[in-house]
Structure 1
Amino acid sequence: MYDCFYASVFENENPELRAVPLAVQQKQIIVTCNYEARRRGLHKLQLIREAKKICPEVVIVLGEDLTRFRNASKELYAFLRSFSWNSKVERLGFDEVSCDMRSVVIDPNVSQSPLLLFLPETSFPLPFSATYYIIDHNVGLLNANDFTNSYFCLSKSDPTAGFAFNASQLAGHAYPEESNDISGALQLDPLRLRLHLTSHLAQHLREALHSEKGYTCTVGVSTNKLLSKLVGNLHKPNSQTTLLPPYGFETEEPDNATLFVDDHEVGKIPGIGFKLAQKLRAHVLQRPAEFDDGLVYGGTKEKVLVRDVRTFPGMSAETLEQVLGGTGVPHGIGARVWGLLNAYDDTAISQARDVPKQISIEDSYIRLDTMEEVLKELRMLSLSLLKRMHADLLEDEEDEDKAETLPINGTRKRWLAYPKVVRLSTRPRPPQNPDGSRNRSFARISRSAPMPNFVFNLKENVDIRCERLVTEALIPLFRKLHPEKSGWNLSLVNVAAANMVDAASDKGGVGRDIAKMFKRQDDVLKQWRVDDEDDTLSVETGVIDKQLPQDAIAQDTVAMDVSKPDKDRTGSEDFPTTSQQSTGDTGDWESEDEDMLDDDMFRCECGAVMPVFAMAAHGRWHEQN
């Protein structure tokens, strides 16, 4: 994780803030604070008035506008992504990134689990046994007779890009603590060797992140997301920890991984939320566990360790399925949680994306119970959503003739992707109990609709599009969620653009980039073109531009039943190939894109249905007619 990320963004903008207690405010609470403030007694989710009493000199900055955090996160993500050799880089929130560098081919003599480096709320899975993958590649560069003078290569194409290191020693902290001088054991333990290399890569990335970007981070090195995230929390801030073998996933004997996870409270395990943790505690305690229902809602007052659950009599994946199952709980939750309790996590890391899977904007409220207030909030959220879409889904377009290109602030832009769905979510407050209290609820209800096509019309003012989005899409969705005219009270509203479809481009998309395809066709088809000029046959075997009789030409060429094209038409399409003639001509153009499905279509306001890549051209047709 990046150390106190929100505060670090402000400190990066103004380095003078690093020396003072700094807190970031959202609503009336502190969402994070720097370590100088924490040394003086401040902490997350603390009320502002309490923080000022404890530390009157605290500097408080407003953090409700997430733009600066989003931009910083994207910049750091791109930096970390540049170290990946297979583009498997996944961003989780603003301050967490997973980067998988393992191979699809696992060496059974090494391990069944890939290495994972968790970078400051940032995860890096690094491989063990893949040709051309960074860890395995560097294992092959080691001199088994001299681990002390080793070299780590960072580039597949440039052997000079890298750094010197001592492979016989681990970089940073280790769990459990032990002697660092184990150079002889490395030759016998391939997993330990790869953990050593990963720890040195982690140290190099931490130093590069600090020197080039000005951010510090905390790193965990282990074999999966769960272990690396937990072990990274042992030494904060600006540090790293490696969980050492043995890892006994396939043995019944306790190992370092199991013993490490055993000491954690069950609610601290990633993947086990508040409700699941409460069920586990109740099963072990044989009664409901007490928890904090104040500002920091859900904090347990009775600790139940992973060890207590894992070793409870009769505990198994089947037992957990019965204990944790129920309405709304996915099938297989017992096996999933049983794996986490035993230090096993097979969560995969997805491929890197240039555009997000969805974009959502939300806000929370103490009380939102009138239609006038709802309309005001929907306008604000919709405007923020459209601006986010412009920031994340538009790119500069060099080709001025490109159909998607339209002027925005003096520049020309094109859509990288189109969200097909607009979704509205709300979180109603439960009704009051007879005693005047109110139960806590985090349940959301949602409705979705097709994203209106006018949203993508960049010629129309963003405020006009925002108002249309509210009146034509969001208000009808709100009426479906809350048909009653009054009586509801909302604590949260979320507006999202989802179901992204990549636009046509050279890199791919739901369809071909038609404009560029036709511009390049002359060069691509040049080698097959036949030019018919005054019945002159050009040959390269000695006779040039000789006028031949028509019957001679017929004898020296392959017989084809081809009618002569019109004078004004040229190109290979005028001379059909065997494949073009062989079957019945239906007049259809067969696309080579197998993923061109019906659900990748958009409907224009005029009623026409078309694939994504044709939207801009269709809009131009409207302008001309």
Structure 2
Amino acid sequence: METTRRSRGLRGKHESIIIHFDYDCFYASVFEAARPELKFQSLGVAQKQILVTVNYEARRRGLHKLQLISEAKKICPDVVIISGEDLTEFRNASKELYTFLRSFSWNDKVERLGFDELFLDVSDLIEHNFSLLNRNDLRNSFFCLSRTDPTTGFDFDASYVAGNTWPACSTDALLLNTSQLDALRLKLHLGSHLAQFLRKELEERKGFTSSVGIAPSKLLSKLVGNLNKPKGQTTLMPPYDLDGVAPSNITSFIDEHPIGKIPGIGCKLARKIREFILQEPIGIDDELSYGAPKKEVLVKDVRLHPNMNVETLEMLLGGPGVPRGIGEKIWGLMHGVDDTNVSKARDLPKQISIEDSYTRLDNFREALAELHMLARSLINRMHIDLLEDELEHLSPDDADVNVIQPISDSILRKKKRWLAHPKTLRLSTRPRPPLNSDGARSRTFNRISRSAPTPNFLFSLTEKTDVLVERLVTEALVPLFRKLHPEKSRWNLSLVNIAVTNMVDSASDTRNSMGRDISKMFKGQDEFFRQRRVQDRSAPPGTYTEEEVGREPTPVSDIDRAVPVAHRGSEDILPLSQDSTVSRDDDEWLFDGNTVYKNLTFVCDTCGATMPTFAMLAHCRWHLEE
């Protein structure tokens, strides 16, 4: 009863089917994809003197991530160490995999989580294929991957779940009377087969393996996907509801997780909760032992604690800088409730961030050198992620070595264009705390930051990179650094980060842009109208030949002669009837090209409407269609 009372009101949305992809050993796999022979060797990716990740062969031989290189070489002397300081290759590989998986999405709900994780909301794709299922022959089903082509897809057996399930179910149990399978369970069957297909495509086409979770929310799909690594997938099966009658698989699944392993509950919040449950203080140094807390507290220990409820969590976790309602949010996460949607796919990043960590950075000369290095990486990354090629029309007189090909009397040249402009430049550092009285130093993960408007010169495409780097450091980053650390010494930094944020998409013709690109409209209008301009090839001004109109020449009235042929329009010329009248306003003049003429007004002899002469043809056609 107590559990039911506490859980009342907790309801998650269970209509969605979310697939979470976690690329196996992503950083090592980037190098293995480029050099396949490395897959059969012990491989470690290093930053500074630490292995940030190792491949599966290295793990089999006793190596693990966050291990000193010197220690790794003692265990495995033939380990291949590759520097992972430059993140460019990892960024490019992550973007390529993201684009590949996005191509299978119908609703464009594809969200990256770091370099090596991705959420895919396939609810609409599953719903469509669910409507196509033949309940009487689930074993011979076809999964359609295209809205327009019903033959694009793959055959599968919808009577069972592909891969693993939680809780584990035998094949015989899954293949019971298929006519009794409810809609939710069948949709999960479909989601599991789609995930299996995408995993195989990812491995065969891109050379990356992945671990996958299938569940009705981002929180649950991420957690359940961790159960069968590497190269495995797991589906969280119903029942899901917290109705107090049947046990919820969601609650049972979440209960066995350490409180600090739940996405959305960071290390600080988890530490406060553990201190409350264990009734003893836990320091950061005492808390970690090989990456895991020495005294673990499971979700069920917190959820079923006699003094634990929403109000207690709010009081325990709230405070300055903490959003209101934190207790209700964490209470919901402990019950597996996560109603956040998968974000819409973005062609551009929300921010570009470059950072590096240090064993000791305690003087301005070294800090200045690091700022130069980070600034160069940031500018290079901005040029890769935020610039696109476009073609520019030039006259022959303006042509240069970048000419591609002549078109009519103009020339095309390739140039660069900014897709977005970040409005904010941010500098962050992580100072080490001073030594304690016993000579030890407390560990901290706190960062301090300062921001400023992004300087306009950063978007220059004519200045050399060296010039931009120097200006960025001296005019923007150094002033921010001085605000963070006004003293010249007595600080020791373990991390420096620079980032550009607050992206504003440039104007373009895409649906996600902030507006139309008017510069392109002006540049292209001359070529557009050139193709539609009436050329007077043989007849004198004011007349048309029989070959041009395909009939007897129409006498040209005095009114028509007042308007040059080139300005009469490119299609049918509507002759004015004898009853039509034209009014001239001596105060209005039109200028077109090198010709100046008075603004002519047409008066319709049918309805009496007055309009400019360029509208008379359409107006008369409207009368004919009435």
Identity over aligned pairs, percent: 59
What is the correspondence of 1:165-564 to structure 2 with a 5 Å cutoff? Answer: 165-180=156-171, 181-182=174-175, 184-185=177-178, 187-249=180-242, 251=244, 253-289=246-282, 293=286, 299-400=292-393, 412-507=415-510, 509-519=513-523, 521=525, 544-547=554-557, 556=580, 563-564=588-589
Contact 2:582 2:601 in 1 (8 A): no
Q: Report deviation, 1:150.
A: 0.2
What amino acid maps onto 2:439 in structure 1? G
Q: Deviations over 1:50-85 (max 9, x none)?
A: 222222232222111111111111111110010011
31, 51, 74: which one aligns with 1:30 = 51
CA distance in 1, matches of 2:130, 2:203: 27
133, 137, 140: which one aligns with 2:131 = 140
Q: Deviations over 1:294-326 (max 9, x none)?
A: 986863111111011111114222221111111
Q: Report deviation, 1:224.
A: 0.7
Q: Does 1:160 align with 2:116?
A: no
Q: Secondary structure at the match of 2:379?
A: helix
Contact 1:291 1:302 in 2 (8 A): no
Structure 1: which 5+ runs fail to align? 99-123, 128-132, 578-625
Contact 2:41 2:58 in 1 (8 A): yes
Aligned residues, how many? 545
* Distance change >3 Å, CA 401–CA 78, structure 1 → 2: farther
Between Structure 1 and Structure 2, the one with more strand by share is: 2
What amino acid maps onto 1:428 in structure 2? P
Contact 1:420 1:498 in 2 (8 A): yes
* Distance change >3 Å, CA 163–CA 288, structure 1 → 2: same
* Distance change >3 Å, CA 555–CA 249, structure 1 → 2: farther
What amino acid maps onto 2:238 in structure 1? P
* Distance change >3 Å, CA 27–CA 568, structure 1 → 2: closer
Contact 2:44 2:82 in 1 (8 A): yes
Task: Give the structure with higher Rg (CA).
Answer: 2
CA distance in 1, matches of 2:293, 2:437: 26
Higher relative contact order (CA 8 A, sep 6+): 2
What amino acid maps onto 1:20 in structure 2? Q
31, 43, 56: which one aligns with 1:10 = 31
Q: Does 1:565 align with 2:565?
A: no
Q: Secondary structure at the match of 2:139?
A: coil
TM-score (norm 2): 0.79
* Distance change >3 Å, CA 575–CA 480, structure 1 → 2: farther
Q: Which residue of 1 aligns with 2:140?
A: 149
CA distance in 2, matches of 1:23, 1:571: 76
CA distance in 2, matches of 1:258, 1:135: 25
CA distance in 1, matches of 2:597, 2:195: 55
* Distance change >3 Å, CA 537–CA 166, structure 1 → 2: same
Q: Report deviation, 1:488.
A: 1.7
Q: Report deviation, 1:542.
A: 10
Q: Which residue of 1 aligns with 2:91?
A: 70
* Distance change >3 Å, CA 571–CA 465, structure 1 → 2: farther
TM-score (norm 1): 0.80
CA distance in 2, matches of 1:260, 1:575: 79
CA distance in 2, matches of 1:174, 1:548: 86
What is the correspondence of 1:610-625 to structure 2 with a 5 Å cutoff? Answer: none
498-507 or 472-481, larger mean C-alpha shift: 498-507
* Distance change >3 Å, CA 535–CA 342, structure 1 → 2: same
Contact 1:224 1:346 in 2 (8 A): yes
Q: Secondary structure at the match of 1:506?
A: coil
Q: Secondary structure at the match of 2:305?
A: coil
Q: Deviations over 1:395-450 (max 9, x none)?
A: 222335599x9979x96322111112211111111122222222222111111112
Structure 2: which 5+ runs fail to align? 1-21, 404-412, 563-575, 603-626
* Distance change >3 Å, CA 479–CA 240, structure 1 → 2: same
* Distance change >3 Å, CA 47–CA 572, structure 1 → 2: farther
Q: Report deviation, 1:511.
A: 3.9
* Distance change >3 Å, CA 258–CA 567, structure 1 → 2: closer
